[in-house]
Amino acid sequence: MSKPGESFEGQIALILHSAGFVIKEQPHNVMYQGKMMGDLDVLAQDPASDTLIGVSCKDWHGQTPGSEQFSHLVEMLEFENLKHGIFASSGSIADTLPSRAEHVREKKGLNIILLDYDEIEKLKNLAYSQKNWEIEDYFKSRLGLTASKRPTIGDNIKAQKSVGIGKTVECDKMIPVNYHNESPEYIVNRDILGTTHHAELKLGPYLVINYNLHISVSHPGTGETLDDITDNGIVVVDAQHGKVVAENDPICRHIEKYYTNAEIHYSIQEKGFTIKKFEPGINERGIVQHLQDQIAARNEIRASYTTAKNERKQIIKRPRPDDVRILGKHLIYVPTWDVTFRVGEKSYRRVYFGYDGSSLYDEMIKCSLCKNHTIALCSECHATCCDKHSRACKTCEKILCEKSAKICIDCMTSFCSEHEPKTNCGICRAMLCGNCSTVSCKGCQTVVCSSHRQKCIECNSYVCTAHIVSKKYALVSKNFCSQSCLNNFDENYKSSGMFGKFKKIIKK
């Protein structure tokens, strides 16, 4: 697609675009049975009804397009089975054409609008004064398309579902979009987020005013400078609401940093997201005057000096609003994303600048279990998790939050629910991985974790806490796997001398 203003076709496309039509192709080749029959200079579409409109543009400088060219358009429309067309000339149009247009409307049901220089100028003026609604009505009523209806929620849902290409939006000056509606870079497994459930690119107008004030007070007698003040910088005004944006507002800081990167005639097309452009609604002159008044008022100088008669006097100098020089004034659009991801049961909203991706609001930034920075999303419950609260399945390496991970009670190895080992401690039911589920109770053969077993002091085999047999020897409790092991120990103990008894007590 050529740039607006570059060609006559481009101008017509731009007018149609202002009317809310989507420019599908420019030009569009008309093929019939594999052969190229000709072309339409622009192929536009009415998004409300999906109606296609074929456009023929004649930029003939002095010559007047007539019947032959009109017939060619009719032919092209018929090949493509289109019922709506526009025949535009940068100059005049042959007198015979209005009746021909009437004729094809009656005989063939073709709606063709004729646009000559005067009509195009009229439409261009409407476009310049941003009367897009009127341009839309102009075309829709003449083409016999249903007057544009207000979008319904159903339309929005349809637009969000289709990852198709939507309307193109242009801004005279706009900070460019470097970051799109992608999943955030700080999430290592961001692919599980998929595409945004809802994504809107907001283009907000801001007026950036560059000012400079310098005043000085000099001694009335000697003319020497007593004091001077310089106040310069930029003021950012929300051009939609007419409010000065506070200096510590992230929007103000962002604009201050990047407004010089704004690009002229920036255009961006909807692709799987919607664009919402807000129009400025302020009185620029009034705003500037108000700022000059304010800046002048806050820069009063009070200086004292000594007269020739050795008297102390004070001078108060108040700058005039006109002393505040306006060095530049730019209406700039700032792109901000408002996106929502939906993954499983969870929904996350993020609002961030299109230029540097820095966020204004982010529901993903903090770990769901603490206040640390998120590094990943749990692949099972989709909660955000930080470095400390994220784990990986030993088998498949999927990332899991600490809540979703199945953790071996003895060695702390993690598993996902698919690869969770099926062995549990017979006493506490905690999961034990393959490496840690090798010990079972001699008495009941049940696998037990390290907290729920003891070693028999007599035979060295393990016993679960349910089958343990204990006896105290000189206040020290001894554990046995069975009564028979206890009896063996007991007999040996009793028959030992003092030193042998002591050895048995300290035995582990």
What are the residues binding Zn ion (CB under 5 A)?
A: 367, 369-370, 372, 378, 380-381, 383, 386, 388-389, 393, 395-396, 401, 404, 408, 410-411, 416, 419, 425, 427-428, 433, 435-436, 441, 443-444, 449, 452, 456, 458-459, 464, 467, 481, 485
Q: Is 388 or 507 the residue whose CB approaches Zn ion more closely?
A: 388
Phi, psi of 389 (to 5 degrees): -100, 15
Provide, rounded to whole angstroms, the least separation between the CB of residue 474 and Zn ion: 21
Nearest distance from C-beta of residue 255 to Zn ion, angstroms: 34
Six-digit token pair at 248? Answer: 């510590």
DSSP string, 351-381: EEETTT--EEEESSSB-SSSSSBP-EE-TTT
Question: Taking the mean position of all CA atoms in its chain, how far away is CA 456?
Answer: 64
Secondary structure element (H or E) that encloses residue 155, with its range: helix 153-161
Assign 414 to helix, strand or coil: strand
Residues 467, 444: Cα–Cα separation, whole Å:
8
Nearer to Zn ion, 452 or 478 (CB): 452
Paired strand residues for 40 = 28
Residues 6+ apart with CB under 8 A from 319: 213, 215, 296, 299, 300
- Find the shortest distance in angstroms from Cβ 372 to Zn ion: 5
Note whether 379 and 188 are within 8 A (CB): no
Cα separation, 504 vs 482, in Å, equals 18
Cβ closest to Zn ion, residue 327 vs residue 428: 428
Residue 190 C-beta: closest distance to Zn ion, Å:
16
Least distance from C-beta 484 to Zn ion, angstroms?
A: 8
Taking the least distance from each CB to Zn ion, the nearer of 61 and 429 is 429
Q: Which residue lies nearer to Zn ion by CB, 370 or 476?
A: 370
Q: Nearer to Zn ion by C-beta: 212 or 461?
A: 461
Using alpha carbons, select from 206, 428, 453 the residue that is nearest to residue 332. Answer: 206
- Nearest approach, Cβ of 495 to Zn ion (angstroms)? 19
Nearer to Zn ion among residue 110 and residue 449 (C-beta): 449
Minimum distance, C-beta of residue 501 to Zn ion, in the bound complex (Å): 20
Which structure tokens are listed for 284? 């620029």
